[in-house]
Amino acid sequence: MIKRFIIGGFLIFLWLVMPVHAKEITLVKHASRVQNLDHVGYTVKEGDTLWKIFMDVFDAGSQDLPYLYKRFRELNPHINDLNHIITGQKLVVPFTHKHLLKKGHEIKATSHDFYVIKKGQHLAMILREVYGLPDDLIFHKYLKLIKESNPDIEDLDWVYPGQKVKIPRPEGYAPTTAHKVVKPKKVLPTREKIPKHIDIEKVNIDKVIRNTMLPAFTEMGGKEKSEGMYFMPLPGGANVSINTFEVPVVELDTGRRIILDINGKISPEVKDLIEQTFSDCKVITAKGGDLEEIMDKVLSVSGYFSINKEGSPLLVGEEEKVRFSGKWIVYKDFSRRNVFVINILKEDEKKTPGLIKKYASRFGIDLIEIGGKDVDLQEIGGDYIKDLGHSYKALFDHLGIVYETDKEIKLITSDVVNIVYNAPIVVGNVILSDTTPNKSIIDFIEKSHMRFINTKKTSLKGVLDGVYVDAMGPPVKIMISGKRTGLELPGIRVGNNIILEKAIDADLCRYLAETGLDVFVW
């Protein structure tokens, strides 16, 4: 007895002093592995077959048999022939959750462990590998318990490394405490950056989809599932689980689910099973295809109201006019007020700036861009729009045009009569005034090799042309993001200066200023 006590004490001492690397500890407290939840000892009776034991004694369904036979082999490795069992033989028989419920074992949580999610783990994996639960119990009872215990987790398929989750202990089972050390599995990167010097068409299509297409679906109101396992319960207790590291899944806000099996890793039989069982789910395969082909296939089953490829551009605006062109123009619903304008960009193409996207959104248009690079615009502050107050003096000052004011121009000089015209503004040999003298004075001005322009009767463009300033417009046409978006502004452009004849949208003005243009309102 003393010897046993000493040995036991020594083992406890070793356990206490053994080093444990904190970074490898998976559980915050301890893992409680539920014992014997999916199997039980059974003595073979006369007339028994394995099939009869499963179906009659343990209330299995035909859909459960593949799992049960597989599990039986694991539990009874000494039995070589499953078709030959003898009366009185001791077996370890697996069963499904239905047997537990039939026997009155209602699964309820009486206490909890706290588990910290590691990279590459999902809840079903933890319940299966750490807690030893069978799949039937996991998917029919335990995930529901976890949802009840963790109301802050909106989607059980979406847990992240470092997240602390309550794992319920079931009533009626005696857990054994086991400190569990789990090394994280190596997982694939989900947002690996594509080098800028590589053309988007030549990059591995999986990386392109993860880096560009999945974020685009999120912008379109969908949810991407590209980490961990995605579970789809089948009737009768079975389930489909998809490794979204290999095959991403997208849930669109139309209620459709898209499985992006780009490289054809899902067999035709499984594809048929999924699509026949889940009418809202489509498996997209495009082995060897490009982004355009993939997007064509996704949009064709997306459930959106109308899809127009290479269609006419959208033209919106008030005083200004903005044109949006897209590879696809998609109307989300019959109202045609919610629109996606979708484009695929090459790696060196610039994306549409945020201010233009914001402007488009006010008209119910979402600009969706797959690929491309962000636009670098300069930050501005203060008054970035200058009000000229309809003053040519202010305009000439900003444009650097040399002029004179209140200049006396002698039209006739003699011993008898002198005629002098007081010109408000003179640029070179051009007189600018908002009032016109009588025709005789105009004739004298022209004989003096000068020209007269009435600024009230002449357009802004006409005045600038008259003083030999090279002005473009109206309208001022500006291309944004290649040929995909174009502006038409009510005004003129002189070099780096935009002179607006009417006020336009404030976000468009800010965008113009952030591109380095000087914006004026006439």
Assess whether 213 and 273 both reside in one domain: yes
Does the residue 183 lie in any domain? no
Contacting residues for 72 by C-beta, under 8 A, at least 6 apart = 50, 82, 91, 92, 93, 94
Assess whether 329 and 292 both reside in one domain: no
Assess whether 296 and 205 both reside in one domain: yes
Assess whether 326 and 284 both reside in one domain: no
8 Å CB contact between 324 and 360: yes
Handedness of CA 341, 342, 348, 351 (dihedral sign): positive
Domain count, the chain: 3
Handedness of CA 237, 242, 243, 249 (dihedral sign): negative
Amino acid at 55: M
Mark which of 241, 275, 300 sits at the end of a domain. Answer: 300
Does the residue 441 lie in any domain? yes
**What whole-number distance in Å separates Cα of residue 152 and Cα of residue 134?**
25
**What whole-number distance in Å separates Cα of residue 314 and Cα of residue 513?**
24
* Helix ranges (DSSP H) in 223-302: 268-277, 291-300
pLDDT value at residue 59 = 77
Does the residue 149 lie in any domain? no
Assess whether 296 and 211 both reside in one domain: yes
Phi-psi sector, 64: left (phi>0), alpha (psi -120 to 50), beta: alpha
Assess whether 296 and 207 both reside in one domain: yes
Mark which of 334, 354, 373 sits at the end of a domain. Answer: 373
Mapping DSSP onto H, E and C, the string for 494-509 reads ECCEEEECCCCCHHHH
Assess whether 279 and 315 both reside in one domain: no
**What whole-number distance in Å separates Cα of residue 147 and Cα of residue 105?**
20
CA distance readout (Å), 275 to 141, 280, 284, 461: 25, 8, 11, 63
For 461, how many CA atoms within 13 A lie in the half-sphere containing its CB? 13
Residue by residue, DSSP assigns 294-324 as: HHHHHHHTS--SEEEET-PPEEE-SSSEEEE
pLDDT value at residue 281 = 93
Assess whether 331 and 408 both reside in one domain: no
Does the residue 389 lie in any domain? no
Assess whether 358 and 432 both reside in one domain: no
Assess whether 260 and 317 both reside in one domain: no
Structure tokens at 406: 């209140």
Domain that residue 452 falls in: 402-466
Amino acid at 148: E
3-state secondary structure of 269: helix
Does the residue 65 lie in any domain? no
Does the residue 120 lie in any domain? no
For 12, how many CA atoms within 13 A lie in the half-sphere containing its CB? 6
Q: How many CB atoms lie within 10 A of CB 487?
A: 21
Alpha-carbon Rg of the chain, whole angstroms? 38
Assess whether 214 and 294 both reside in one domain: yes
Please report, in tens digits, the pLDDT of each residue of the chain (522 residues total): 444 444 444 444 343 344 433 333 323 333 333 444 567 788 999 888 888 888 888 877 766 776 788 788 888 888 887 878 889 898 988 876 555 444 444 445 546 778 888 877 888 778 777 766 666 667 767 788 888 888 888 888 788 888 888 887 654 333 333 333 333 333 333 444 434 433 444 346 677 788 888 888 888 889 888 888 888 888 777 788 898 888 999 999 888 999 999 888 899 999 999 999 998 999 998 877 788 999 999 999 999 989 999 888 999 987 899 999 999 999 988 777 889 999 999 888 889 999 999 999 988 999 999 988 888 777 776 677 889 999 999 999 999 999 999 999 998 888 888 899 999 999 999 999 999 999 999 999 999 899 999 999 999 999 999 999 999 989 999 998 878 999 999 999 999 999 999 889 988 999 999 988 999 999
**What whole-number distance in Å separates Cα of residue 144 and Cα of residue 156?**
9
Q: What is the dihedral of CA 207, 213, 214, 217, to 10 degrees?
A: 180
Burial class (CB in 10 A: 0-12, 13-18, 19+), 418: exposed
Mark which of 260, 276, 300 sits at the end of a domain. Answer: 300
Q: How many CB atoms lie within 10 A of CB 402?
A: 8
In angstroms, the first-to-last Cα distance of the chain is 103
Structure tokens at 26: 């998976």
Does the residue 458 lie in any domain? yes
Instruction: Write the CATH number for 254.
Output: 3.40.1350
Q: Give the chain's length.
A: 522
pLDDT value at residue 134 = 65
pLDDT value at residue 27 = 34
Does the residue 511 lie in any domain? no
Assess whether 411 and 322 both reside in one domain: no
Q: Are strands 365-373 and 321-324 parallel, antiparallel or unpaired?
A: unpaired
Q: What is the pTM of this model?
A: 0.57
